[in-house]
Chain A
């Protein structure tokens, strides 16, 4: 099995992408999509990327909803900051000590934080585990640290470690 499916998630994603692009569920396209999926993941396997393991897929779904909710909420918050003429945002840098070490989890955290308006992932010191963030509305540092530690990091550790 692992010979043909070194990266099962990638194969499934490529199959889904193929079917969506062709907007068809006909057997011919399913077959072609399977070939694309297997060929794609075999091609990627020559790079020898370490495989990750998702322990709790349901927690992943919960994380997706949390992130969606937070993105909507911070869109409103950032809109308010930009449009209010008087308010000058107290933006600044913030350091957070992370216990998370899994590379995939860190990559997901980086994408989550950066795509959420109001927070940008700046740097990660992998030796000390210190994450440097830039926050647009840095009124209360502890609230942001708690948000990342309890809302995101704990869930990501449950999923990947």
Chain B
């Protein structure tokens, strides 16, 4: 990819800062995934990358391509919307699966399941 020479300096600086910030936050999230101890604590770490991390990268992309093509480029908003909708759902599914497993195994560190009548598994 070639960078046009007439790109204003403030766009170049702001874009690099935003990209580095987003990538840094995602990296911290990955480190957290590695460092935190329990499964439930680990679920928290990737959300750094999927909220502010991706937000910064998308802002940088919008800024850079709007400057290069000298028209507003906004379709990155769609990525933000779909990531915001889908990530919590997959995280909730993972946590629910872990919780059901721990309930069946009788793990004492997990809160007891609500008393359900006759094994009715309504969530």
Binding site for B on A (CB under 8 A): 17, 20-21, 23, 71-72, 75, 78-79, 81-83, 89, 91, 93, 95, 110-111, 114-128, 130, 132, 134, 136
The reply to whether B45 and A115 form a contact with Cβ atoms under 8 Å apart is no
A82 — which chain B residues lie within 8 A by C-beta?
A: 28-29, 31-32, 35-36, 45
Q: From DSSP, what is the main secondary structure of chain B's interface residues? A: helix
Interface residues of B in 29-46 (CB under 8 A from A): 29, 31-32, 35-36, 38, 40-41, 43-45
Other than the given A78-B32, A115-B47, A127-B114, 12 more pairs (CB < 8 A) read A20-B77, A21-B75, A23-B74, A71-B51, A79-B28, A91-B41, A115-B50, A116-B51, A118-B44, A120-B43, A122-B40, A126-B122
A118 to B35, CA, bound (A): 15
A114 to B89, CA, bound (A): 8
Binding site for A on B (CB under 8 A): 25, 28-29, 31-32, 35-36, 38, 40-41, 43-45, 47-48, 50-52, 73-75, 77-78, 84-85, 87-89, 91-92, 95-96, 99, 110-111, 114, 122-123
The reply to whether A110 and B47 form a contact with Cβ atoms under 8 Å apart is no
Interface pairs (28), CB distance under 8 Å: A75-B51, A78-B32, A79-B28, A81-B32, A82-B28, A82-B29, A91-B41, A93-B110, A110-B88, A111-B85, A111-B88, A111-B89, A115-B87, A116-B47, A117-B44, A117-B51, A118-B44, A120-B40, A120-B91, A121-B95, A122-B40, A122-B92, A123-B96, A123-B123, A125-B114, A126-B123, A128-B114, A134-B40
